[in-house]
Amino acid sequence: MQNIKNKINQIKELLKSWEYAYYVLDDPIVEDSEYDFKLNELKQLELEYPELITADSPTQRVGGQISENFEKYNHKFPMLSLDNAFNDNDLYDFDKTIKKETINENYTYFVEPKIDGLSISLIYQNGIFIKGVTRGNGIQGEDVTFNIKTIRSLPLSINDKEDYFEVRGEVFLSKKEFQRINDERKKNNEELFANPRNAAAGTLRQLNSKIVASRKLDVFLYYYLNREKIKTHSDSLDYIKNIGFKVNPLGKLCKNINEVIKHISYIESVRQDLDYEIDGAVVKVNEFKYYDDIGYTSKFPKWATAYKYPAEVKITNLKEIFATVGRTGKITYNAILEPVSLAGTTVQAATLHNAEYIFTKKIRVGANVKVKKAGDIIPEIIEVVNDEIYSNLKTWEKIEQCPACGSDLEIFSDEVDQYCINFNCERKIIKSLEHFVSRGAMNIEGMSIKIIEKLYENKIINNVTDIYNLKSKKNEILSLEKTGEKSFSNLINAIEESKKNDASKLLFGLGIRYVGSKTSKLLLDKFKSIQTLMSADITEIESIHDVGPKVAKSIQDWKKIDSNIILIQKLSELGINMNSLKQIVKENKNIKDKSFVITGTLSKPRNNFVELIEINGGKVLNSISKITNFLLAGDDAGSKLDKAKDLQVNIINELEFLQMLEGNNEN
């Protein structure tokens, strides 16, 4: 048995060295076929002697683990975010702060690319990888260990045998792998990922680790927490690199802030040549001994900052302008562009909003245009290039008929948008159905726009009530291409589950003009049921704070249509909940009667925080004013943060908000 154990260990060490050369050094030393042969040899030995399988075996990377959900894990040390710098002056101000806290001391900086991915914490025990945890809210993350183990550049065992070893980094997808995944999804008629970061985040949260393994995630490590035996950040990176971790090669030690600025500029100059996305550079004081003196805020360390690069701008040709119609009948104009690589993805289209937008920017078909990604996600046309081509192009003219049904379009007196007002417009019906089943409304999982289109085209559904009769259409649905028993069963279960939703979700799903998700909640808080709302007069509705006459008139107009009232009756008869389920579960004295504005990127969707505030007796506003009690600010908070500072509104981060929730409650 000892001979078998020795042989297994020899193969594991050999495979480990080959993986390191291939995935970390990007310098393969054997052919793929030789690697596969040795891996299969190891698999066979482990099949014969399963008691010799260890957690660090290369065979344990392949995936296949299915999780029902991800367990929460409390970080031993908070995973703080970083403050931002946007120009050289911001960096000089950052340096002044450091100089103030380290008087008469010699300090240096370390600069490295800011990888556009998903932050992760990796924990090892006695040299063996035992846990991978997402950042989450900085205090608590999700245990994604099985998914992390599929990352080939990550060592499953290291030569540091400490009882507790923690290192942090960024999980990402290469541009090449991102393109491959989207090409595959396109062939399968699946929704495309917007960018590599979204794809990496979605992959890491996959419940099936076999899917994760197929997507070839990668990771750069940048922060070593066991700092007792190491004095500087640069030394810590050298250390973790020497024991097998992948460290970004563009990191550089800089003597002063001018060298920092120079290296940040260099990283930006090579940004487009990298096979991974970056959105800036991170600057850290290199010497650990100054960290406590420089200090921390509750949100970020003051000894580091993230320099954000401006959005990339490219010039391309606008080939065509076309219009689409939404669920309300609103016409949206879109541009087809000559494909151009922008911020790591190939951009072929951009929204042009409405005709007024096109006229204002003097956009013409055939023009060369400057394009950027708003927030590095949504393609946006900044302006046309006034060149020789442009002067010979015809002025664009807006359409007058609906692109879906051909009906005449209308413009309401107080708006610039065009609308199709034909109730029987097919595209409006399909988009209305899509809205009804969406996450913010009835949240019927599995009912994508493609499923809706298929059911509509086959005359299986025509309106929202038909959704709740799909159980009786089993044979018809199963006869459709790519529809199986399990998919059908999951869909029916999701439909049945949606009947229990709070009535505010149904009200939002009905698509009444101006009645958004927040307004739906306000209305149901007041009237308690949809039937009561439908019986209310316009004065009662418009008297609600944050509702007003515009919304009230829209509801009044909607309920004047007999078919709409019949729709409410049918939905009620089908067992859909018509009542508000909201009750204040607990009134937290820190939250009760306080007003909050939420801005920036938080660890969970905005609605999660809205619900937490509301069930604890507080209310959420859309804009900052003197009456606002708190601004809950996440990353990239923007103008609301500036206004809150000007008005001296209390600014809290997610951690501080959670601490408020944990305060004394009034029952």
- Res 69: pLDDT: 65
Is 160 one of the annotated binding-site residues? no
415 among annotated binding-site residues = no
What are the tens digits of pLDDT across the range 376-414?
566 889 899 988 899 899 999 999 999 999 999 988 777
| Residue 291 assigned to a binding site | no
Residue 381's alpha-carbon distances to 248, 310, 500, 644, in angstroms, are 33, 16, 43, 31
DSSP state letter for 375: T
Q: Which two tokens stand for residue 290?
A: 């100054």
Question: Quick one: which H or E segment has residue 133?
Answer: strand 128-134
Q: 39 with 8: CB under 8 angstroms?
A: no
- Angstrom distance (rounded) from CA 121 to CA 30: 31
402 is in an annotated binding site: yes
pLDDT score for 132: 93
How confident is the model over 45-60, as a mean pLDDT? 73
Instruction: Please report the pLDDT score of residue 664 as a whole number.
Output: 53
Is 308 annotated for ligand binding?
Answer: yes
At residue 549, the pLDDT reads 87
pLDDT band for 606, please (50, 70, 90 cuts): confident
Query: Is 420 known to sit in a ligand binding site?
Result: yes
Per-residue pLDDT at 572 exceeds 90: yes
DSSP 191-256: PPPSSHHHHHHHHHT-SBHHHHHHT--EEEEEEE---TT--BHHHHHHHHHHTT----TT-EEESS
User: Is 654 known as a binding-site position?
Assistant: no
pLDDT single digits (tens) 451-507: 999 999 999 999 999 999 999 999 988 888 777 888 889 899 999 999 999 999 999
In the block, residue with structure tokens 């994760």 = 212
Q: Which two tokens stand for residue 124?
A: 């090892």
Task: Tell me, letter by letter, the H, E, C secondary structure of 532-546.
Answer: HHHHCCHHHHHCCCC
Does 613 have pLDDT greater than 50? yes
Long-range pairs for 348-354 at CB < 8 Å and ≥24 separation?
Answer: 349/379, 350/379, 350/380, 350/381, 351/378, 351/379, 351/380, 352/321, 352/381, 354/416, 354/417, 354/418
Q: If DSSP codes are grouped into helix, strand and coil, which group holds residue 71?
A: coil
> CB-based contacts of 583: which residues, under 8 Å, 6+ apart?
615
Does 27 belong to an annotated binding site?
no
Cβ atoms 499, 422 nearer than 8 A: no
Residue 360 confidence (pLDDT)? 93
Instruction: Tell me the average pLDDT of the chain.
Output: 86
Instruction: List, for residues 330-358, the tens digit of each pLDDT value.
Output: 999 999 999 988 766 678 888 898 999 99
Q: What are the structure tokens assigned to 275, written together?
A: 């096979």
Give the pLDDT confidence score for residue 235 in this predicted structure: 96
Confidence of residue 665 (pLDDT cuts 50, 70, 90): very low
Burial bucket for residue 40 (CB in 10 Å: 0-12, 13-18, 19+) = exposed
Reported pTM: 0.55
Q: Which of 36-40, 331-335, 410-414, 425-429 is least confident? A: 36-40
CA 357 to chain centroid: 28
d(CA 371, CA 375): 13
**Structural domains in the chain plus CATH codes:** 2-61 (1.10.287.610), 84-308 (3.30.470.30), 313-411 (2.40.50.140), 426-498 (1.10.150.20), 503-573 (1.10.150.20), 587-666 (3.40.50.10190)
Instruction: Compute the distance between CA of residue 240 and CA of residue 13 in angstroms, rounded to an integer.
Output: 18
Is 611 annotated as ligand-binding?
no
170 is in an annotated binding site: yes
Over 90: is that where the pLDDT of 550 sits? no
* Active-site amino acid positions: 114
Structure confidence at residue 327 (pLDDT)? 86
Tokens describing residue 123: 């924990």
Cβ-Cβ contacts under 8 Å for 400 (sequence gap 6 or more): 408, 409
Q: Which has the minimum average pLDDT: 34-43, 171-180, 495-504, 569-578? A: 34-43
Q: What's the residue count for the chain? A: 667
Residue located via tokens 């920017």: 361
State yes or no: 405 annotated in a binding site: yes
Q: With contact defined as beta carbons under 8 Å apart, do 171 and 120 qualify? A: yes
Longest CA span, the chain = 87
Asked which of 80-89, 125-134, 263-272, 336-345 is least confident by mean pLDDT, the reply is 336-345
Q: At 19, is the pLDDT very low, low, confident or very high (cuts 50, 70, 90)?
A: confident
d(CA 110, CA 281): 10
Mean pLDDT of 600-608: 75
